[in-house]
Amino acid sequence: MKHPKLTCLLISLMAIVQYSCNTDDGNGTTVSDNELSLPSDKVLIGFGFRAEDNTELTEDVVGDIEQTTFSVASFVPFRADRSALTPTIEVSPNADYEPKGVQDFMNPVVYTVTAEDGSTQDYEVTVGFLPEPDTGLTDKNVLLFLSHEDAYYSEYIIMRRALEITGYTVDVRSANEQPAEVYTLSGNIVSTTLPSVGHDTFLSQFQESFGATWDPSYNELPNPPFVEVSGSILEVDDMLAYDALVVVGGTGAQDYRVDGTYAAQGTGDRMIPAEMVQATAEKLNALALDALSQGKPVIAQCHGASLAPFWRIPGTSGPGLEAMGYSILKEGHATGFPESETAEYLELLNVNYRGEETGDLAFGSSDRVTISSPHSSFGSNTGDYKIITTRDWYSQTVAHAARSLLNIIETHPNASELSSAVSVLILHGGPVNPEDCGVSNTTTNDVPCNFGTLPDDLPADYTHLQDLLEDSSPFDDFNFVIEEVNITDELPYNEDSVDEIRAFLGVYDVVIFYKHWATGVTTNLQNALLEYVDNGGNLLGIHHGLYDDNGKTILTDELFEIASAASTWSGSSLTDYNLVVTNLGHFISTYGITLQNAVESPINWTSTPSQSGNPSYSHYPNIPIYDEIYTNMEFKPSANFGREVNQIMPLFSHTVFGTPNPHTSGHIKYFDDNGDGVFGKLVFLQPGERQENYVAGGNYGQIIRNAVVWLGLKE
């Protein structure tokens, strides 16, 4: 709109100048001062920005001109783009000014006013921001969208409470300012549960996943069934203030697909027109793309999951449903409400459906939660593995999805960290000697040839690990700087001094312990590794490293709290199996990894994975792998599971029979031995026998690379 102050200011100033230019000579004759004074007038008498000339503005802005300092101060709304503003300028009659037109006001701009006689005067114009409006947001915020009508209550309240308990302010928005209508088919949260496990499982899941007890006062649907919102999502300009975008499901969410067909929603005084529904759908599209371009995750739940495939990439188009633009998920993966329509529209949008629907709404084979990446035409990889879609409304699924979202927010590096150099030290015992690699040789050969000495049967050694880290992966731009030390050879430190060993280790971001036999693994070295991690260092143990032939007690008992002990050795097997993800969303278990369709809990599991990870309680994503399983791999009695410092947080389980604990395939741990508040990080990965699993671009090779990058992150 036109700002009356700016208009009146310019008119008034012009009137003042006109009045001052006419005087009486004392004889009743009016004499124009212009004949004498105008040629040298060079005054900037009006400066501002009209909203009609600047799309960044919703109202006119008037500049404050200080004639004594020849300066102008203007203020535009907080975070408005100042790089291309068109000012409205008024100068003395017959004077001129430069520059004209659109200017970049990110920095001060000097305007030169030139009088008719050629004399000049410079004015410096500064454009700042008005104070940031009080939105009630903090430094940790999530934007949550509810359909104006028919939003599903369990998907809303469990997601919201999970985020709030973990420290996030949840900004709840809808299409307009009216409360959003919510519903459930089952009546309350207690009944909205996976039939196979029940509400008690959800309660323990919530406690372990988010560190707080579920409040039963949230079980019942509000009466009347409405949820207050903080405003219309149309008022949200961008995702700068938020860490994630959440779209809650419910049948009403489907109205906000960007599909070219929009209808009014609601009835009576709650009716919103089709134009508002369309504008809201397009706003959600824009906010989702903005979030991904900033490296922030987006999640769409159940019926709301159908919005994500309809989010379009600008500047693209294709046949059929792609005429309005490629789906952000084109050639990626998604799940959604278990009905035939889900598979149909995903196929038409060239999105892969995770699993074939069986018709059983509770136990179809679709993934409960799927994580995918934007299509290559999006033009940025900042949103890779940050698009989450969910299948259903069950309490356990919503909690699993919320933990997956938090895992992405909390564990994924930002864009610069993904390519930052990580200094890595590999501690090993030398390459495999095929001529003498039997189990009896524990001194001149480190990794035993348990499955033969033919080239295809030889185990991996440190050279394969080094090659994996130094090679390029098609799924990342990681930058590793590798050094290695054979601890049975000449040493670059004094092995009799724990302090000197620790100082040597301390220059590296990550140390990888890759020594099979205990030869060379001295008590001093182990104590130095413990102190290195206790003082903020980061340690990765892979396969051979946690075989304990009675010489690695500090590593196995105090640091990793897991081992395959020689004293209880019961053999090993080289077999095909599935490495099952039990902490979905964590950077190590998610980034760059092609997961198979989820499978039901494997029949070899005599117990469920620790809830301190992120189990789904029904179906689990996984990768196939061919590798060695230590049949006696077991956690130490001291192992304490949870998400806090000095607790073990699982990453992977396996599907092999004949092992005492199938949940020993990988875990992480924050370690603070002396309790001074400074902690390091540990990662253990059980697979690692076969050479083919150390290939850049392979699933397990990517997991190892991810582990090194995550360990190298500065907490």
| Confidence (pLDDT) at 34 | 41
pLDDT band at 94 (very low <50, low <70, confident <90, very high): very high
Work out the average pLDDT over 174-188.
94
Q: What is the pTM of this model?
A: 0.82
Output the CA angle 81-84-85, nearest 5 degrees: 90
675: three-class secondary structure by DSSP: coil
Q: Can you name the residues that pair with 23 across neighbouring β-strands?
A: 31
Cα(307)–Cα(146) distance, integer angstroms: 12
**Residue 506: pLDDT above 60?**
yes
- CA-to-CA dists, residue 634 to 160, 273, 577, 578, 637, angstroms: 37, 61, 18, 18, 9
Closest CA to 295 of 204, 378, 394, 233: 378
In this predicted model, what pLDDT tens digit does every residue of 538-550 receive, in sequence order? 999 999 899 999 8
| Confidence (pLDDT) at 598 | 80
Q: Which one is predicted more confidently, 134 or 650?
A: 650
**Residue 12: pLDDT above 80?**
no
Reported in sequence order, the residue ranges of 235-386 that DSSP labels E, i.e. its strands, are: 244-247, 298-300, 333-334, 352-353, 369-372
| Confidence (pLDDT) at 194 | 87
pLDDT band at 603 (very low <50, low <70, confident <90, very high): confident
pLDDT band at 617 (very low <50, low <70, confident <90, very high): confident
CB-facing half-sphere around the CA of 109: CA atoms within 13 A? 22
Amino acid at 163: L
**Residue 591: pLDDT above 90?**
yes
- In the predicted model, what is the mean pLDDT of the chain? 91
Cα(13)–Cα(363) distance, integer angstroms: 75
Are 78 and 56 in contact, with CB atoms under 8 Å apart? no
Those residues with Cβ within 8 angstroms of residue 381's Cβ, 6 or more apart along the chain or in another chain? 373
- CA-to-CA dists, residue 429 to 441, 442, 448, 467, 571, angstroms: 12, 10, 11, 16, 22
| Confidence (pLDDT) at 568 | 87
In this predicted model, what pLDDT tens digit does every residue of 221-240 receive, in sequence order? 999 999 999 999 999 999 99
Work out the average pLDDT over 149-173.
97
- CA-to-CA dists, residue 333 to 224, 269, 385, 403, 406, angstroms: 38, 40, 10, 19, 20
| Confidence (pLDDT) at 358 | 45
| Confidence (pLDDT) at 355 | 58
| Confidence (pLDDT) at 30 | 43
| Confidence (pLDDT) at 88 | 98
Domains observed in the chain: 44-129 (2.60.40.2340), 141-410 (3.40.50.880), 415-712 (3.40.50.880)
The angle that helices 153-165 and 199-210 make with each other, rounded to 10 degrees, is 30
In this predicted model, what pLDDT tens digit does every residue of 100-158 receive, in sequence order? 999 999 999 999 999 999 999 999 999 999 887 766 778 899 999 999 999 999 999 99
| Confidence (pLDDT) at 356 | 53
Q: Which one is predicted more confidently, 245 or 415?
A: 245
End-to-end Cα, the chain, rounded Å: 48
**Residue 272: pLDDT above 90?**
yes
**Residue 5: pLDDT above 80?**
no
